[in-house]
């Protein structure tokens, strides 16, 4: 064993640290069951729910989904900025035991199924507890001791009985400060990403409707339909195993393989005949659109990868080069107008399907091909910038997880 460390029930820790439960050092109290008859879209109080927690911990602003409360509030059930709360019911997968700090906004209520955390001893720092509660090892213990089958739940007693690693208070403050700095950076990146997304949406609205024209580009726009500017083909599913009739192995795009942002997230491997592959294959500048299921209308622009084909749950749209540019159309098909057209041309049933009228109706505003190309390049550059920021944020999150593992176990010491 490394000098200066000792073996405990929670593993090897520094000799100055202790391994013990939080019982007697921390109190966790239940919330109040506020009556739904006083819920409203506006009011003096904000209802706090498990929806305010991120899976990895932290407070989520739910925006327009925020419910307010207009009734009388019992004394002691209004949360204050900076207070620590913990989710004691897993209303969504991964939320059980997640901890969050109330933001600098007055009026959040201590609702049922949420635990309010207070320290009873100077041996424990609240800021440090936030990271302990959100650590993978603590959350694993919470799930292990949880009750319930369909919906898991825990209690203050169970949470306080879980043994944790406790460094001296000055080191707790140093650890919390270091991890808080990383959280601040992640928050700043989240805000920047949100701002860039808003700017992109504004740019799409202006550029795709002709409200704003790029310098040096002229020509009339026309109102047209997809059927007039693309060739539609239906995909194939193919055989799972190779045989003489299906010798070509291909990556098949299914309805669930396209993200709302237009990224290809997965594919299935299937074997097609050469004729099937020739009809269903995707080539550079093609579009693949989902035409059935819950992900109706999601679009992927083919960036030139080979050996990719469409399943029978999507359609390939091949632009007629003299009329349309595929990447430009991919932005049109993810625009607000496209969303409105999807609602209008979707067959309402248990399994929604896109009607042929979506493709035959004249709702596409189409500039000349050079202007389509220029607009697509501007929006693609914005996408590239967004992707770089998201990658940086994801790397920072991964760095934070590594820091938590090192700092909360004492492997790396700050003081």
Question: Percent of the chain, pLDDT > 70?
Answer: 100
Could you tell me the CATH superfamily of domain 222-366? DNA methylase specificity domains (3.90.220.20)
Burial class (CB in 10 A: 0-12, 13-18, 19+), 205: middle
Residue 293's pLDDT is 79
172: Cβ–Cβ under 8 A, 6 or more apart, which residues?
124, 125, 127, 128, 166
Alpha helices by DSSP H, listed for 295-335, are 326-332
The predicted-structure confidence for 65-122, as pLDDT tens digits, reads as follows: 999 999 999 999 999 999 999 999 987 888 999 999 999 999 999 999 999 999 999 9
Structure confidence at residue 148 as a pLDDT band (50, 70, 90): confident
Topology of the domain covering 167-214+369-415: Helix Hairpins (1.10.287)
Structure confidence at residue 12 as a pLDDT band (50, 70, 90): very high
394: Cβ–Cβ under 8 A, 6 or more apart, which residues?
none
Residue 206's pLDDT is 96
- CATH numeric code, 22-162: 3.90.220.20
Does the pLDDT at position 232 exceed 80? yes
Does the pLDDT at position 167 exceed 90? yes
Between 337 and 351, where is the model more confident? 337
The answer to whether domain 22-162 and domain 222-366 are alike in fold is yes
The predicted-structure confidence for 308-327, as pLDDT tens digits, reads as follows: 999 988 999 999 999 999 99
Residue 313's pLDDT is 87
Between 148 and 198, where is the model more confident? 198
Q: To which residue do tokens 């992109």 refer?
A: 200
Q: Are the C-beta atoms of residues 133 and 126 closer than 8 Å to each other?
A: no
Structure confidence at residue 292 as a pLDDT band (50, 70, 90): confident
Q: Are the C-beta atoms of residues 174 and 388 closer than 8 Å to each other?
A: no
Return d(Cα 220, Cα 257) in angstroms, integer: 37
Q: Where are the domains of the chain?
A: 22-162, 167-214+369-415, 222-366
Structure confidence at residue 201 as a pLDDT band (50, 70, 90): very high
The predicted-structure confidence for 363-401, as pLDDT tens digits, reads as follows: 999 999 999 999 999 999 999 999 999 999 999 999 999
Tokens of 144: 């292990």
Sign of CA dihedral 6, 10, 16, 18: negative
Return d(Cα 343, Cα 364) in angstroms, integer: 15
Give the SS3 label for residue 6. strand
The predicted-structure confidence for 25-43, as pLDDT tens digits, reads as follows: 999 999 999 999 999 999 9
Does the pLDDT at position 348 exceed 90? no
Report the predicted TM-score, pTM, of the whole model to 2 decimal places. Answer: 0.85
């Amino acid at each position: 064993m490394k000098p200066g460390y000792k073996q405990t029930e929670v593993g090897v820790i520094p000799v100055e640290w202790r391994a013990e439960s939080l019982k007697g050092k921390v109190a966790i109290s239940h919330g109040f069951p506020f009556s739904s008859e006083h819920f409203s879209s506006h009011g003096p109080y904000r209802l706090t729910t498990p929806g305010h927690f991120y899976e990895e911990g932290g407070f989520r602003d739910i925006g327009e989904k925020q419910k307010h409360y207009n009734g009388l509030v019992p004394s002691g059930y209004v949360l204050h900025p900076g207070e620590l709360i913990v989710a004691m019911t897993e209303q969504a997968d991964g939320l059980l035991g997640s901890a969050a700090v109330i933001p600098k906004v007055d009026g959040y209520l201590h609702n049922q199924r949420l635990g309010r955390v207070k320290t009873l001893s100077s041996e424990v720092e609240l800021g440090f507890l936030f990271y302990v509660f959100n650590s993978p090892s603590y959350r694993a213990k919470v799930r292990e001791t949880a009750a319930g089958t369909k919906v898991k739940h825990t209690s203050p007693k169970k949470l306080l009985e879980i043994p944790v690693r406790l460094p001296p208070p000055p080191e707790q403050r140093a650890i919390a400060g270091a991890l808080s700095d990383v959280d601040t950076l992640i928050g700043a990146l989240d805000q920047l990403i949100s701002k860039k997304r808003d700017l992109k949406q504004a740019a799409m609205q202006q550029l795709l409707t002709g409200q704003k024209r790029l310098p040096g580009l002229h020509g009339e726009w026309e109102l047209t339909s997809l059927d007039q500017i693309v060739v539609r083909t239906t995909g194939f599913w193919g055989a799972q195993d190779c045989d003489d009739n299906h010798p070509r192995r291909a990556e098949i795009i299914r309805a669930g393989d396209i993200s709302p942002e237009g990224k290809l997230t997965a594919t299935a491997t299937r074997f097609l005949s050469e004729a099937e592959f020739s009809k269903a294959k995707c080539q550079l500048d093609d579009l693949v659109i989902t035409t059935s299921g819950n992900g109706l209308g999601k679009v992927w622009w083919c960036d030139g990868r080979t050996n990719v084909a469409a399943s029978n749950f999507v359609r390939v749209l091949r632009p007629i080069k003299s009329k349309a540019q595929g990447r430009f159309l991919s932005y049109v098909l993810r625009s607000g107008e496209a969303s409105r057209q999807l609602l209008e041309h979707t067959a309402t049933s248990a399994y929604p399907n896109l009607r042929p009228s979506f493709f035959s109706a004249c709702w596409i505003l189409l500039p000349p091909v050079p202007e389509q190309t220029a607009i697509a390049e501007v929006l693609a550059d914005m996408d590239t910038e967004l992707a770089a920021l998201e990658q940086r944020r994801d790397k920072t999150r991964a760095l934070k997880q590594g820091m938590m593992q090192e700092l909360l176990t004492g492997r790396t010491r700050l003081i």
